[in-house]
Amino acid sequence: MVNLELYRVFYTVAKCGSLTKAAEELFISQPAVSQAIKQLETQLGTSLFNRTHKGMELSAQGGKLIYKSVEDALTLLDSAENALIELKTTATGTIRIGATDSIFSNLIADKIVAFHEKYPAVKFDLITGTTLDTIAQLKDNKCDIVFINLPVSDKDVVLSGSVSLLSDIFVANDKFSELKDKTVPIKRLQELPLLMMEKNTIARQATDNYLNSLGLNFIPDIEVANWDLMLKLAIKGMGIGCVPREYCTKYLESGELFEINVSPTLPVRGVGMALPKNIPVPYALREFIHLFK
C-alpha cells in the first residue's frame, strides 16, 4: 500500500504548481519533495506530472485522473483528525451521568447548572438508580461517569476521587423528644421504631457492617428506597431515621427534626466518582470532573 504522505506531497505539488512552493508549505526540502513524487510515480507505474518551464502540471493520463480522488480522501482524513482534536479540546456532546436521586439533588445539581452556564453546548443525560445499579450501567457503557456511595470495590471501574464526605446520623421529630440533648447509647435504638435504607444499598450495608462490629443487629420497622421518603416519614413521627446529616440540614435547622446524639457515632463515609476502565475521557467530561476537585 502506498504511504499516505506520498499522496499528501502529490496533492500539495499539484495545488502549488511548483516543487519549491510545495516544499515551503510542507516544511521539507525541495529534493525531498522531488524524491517523494518519483517514489509515488514508481509505485503507481505512471507519470503524474509534466515538468514545464512554468512548473509542475498534472499529466493527462496520470495526475489528472487521481487528483480529485486524492483531494477528497485527504479532506475526509483532515476532517476526521479535526473532529478528534475538537473532542479533546472543546466541550461539546452529551455527558451521561449516573447517580442516586439524593446525590443528584444534594451534590451534583448545582455543578450541572454551573457547567451549563460555562458550556451551554453540552447536554446532560441523567440516569438515576442505586450505586450498584449505576455501576452496572457504567460497565454496560450506558453512563460516562457515575457518582457512588463509598466504599465500593470493583476492579472493572476506575475510582476518580472523592466528591463529598457523608456523616450518617439518627434523626427524629418531637415524638421522641425524651432523646433530645442527651447522649444516647446506640444500642438503645434497637428498642425504638427505626427507618433505614433497603438492604441492597451501599449506605445500609455500611451501617450494618459497623453495627455488627459492635455486636448489634438493627431490624428496622420500615425500609425505604430513598432518603426523601425516609425524611418525610421521620417528620411525621413514623420512626427514627438513619440519614446523612448533609441530606437533612434544612429539616434540622427548621426544627422539624433533631439529631440524636448517639455513642458511639457512626463512621464517616463518602461519595466518589467512577469512570469506565481503559476508555479515554473527552474534554467536556474532564472539565465537568474539574468542578469537583
Q: What is the pLDDT of residues 221-278, one digit of tens each?
A: 999 999 999 999 999 999 999 999 999 999 999 999 999 999 999 999 999 999 998 8
Residue 118 gets which letter from DSSP? H
pTM equals 0.65
Q: Rounded distance, CA 161 to CA 273, Å?
A: 6
**Burial class of residue 23 (count of CB atoms within 10 Å of its CB; 0-12, 13-18, 19+):** buried
Tens of pLDDT, residues 186-218: 999 999 999 999 998 889 999 999 999 999 999
pLDDT tens by residue, 45-64? 999 999 888 889 999 989 99
88: pLDDT confidence band, cut at 50, 70 and 90?
low
CA dist 195 and 234 (Å) reads: 8
Q: How confident is the model at residue 162 (pLDDT cuts 50, 70, 90)?
A: confident
pLDDT reported for residue 259: 98
C-alpha Rg value of the chain to the nearest Å: 32
Predicted pLDDT of residue 271: 94
Alpha-carbon distance of 220 to 234, in angstroms, equals 13
Cα angle 189, 204, 111; round to 5: 120
Q: Is 244 exposed, middle or buried (0-12, 13-18, 19+ CB in 10 A)?
A: buried
74 HSE (CA, 13 A, CB side): 17
Cβ neighbours of 29 (radius 10 Å)? 11
Instruction: Average the pLDDT over 90-101 and give the result.
Output: 86
Q: Among all chains, which residue has been given the C-alpha cell 455486636?
A: 215
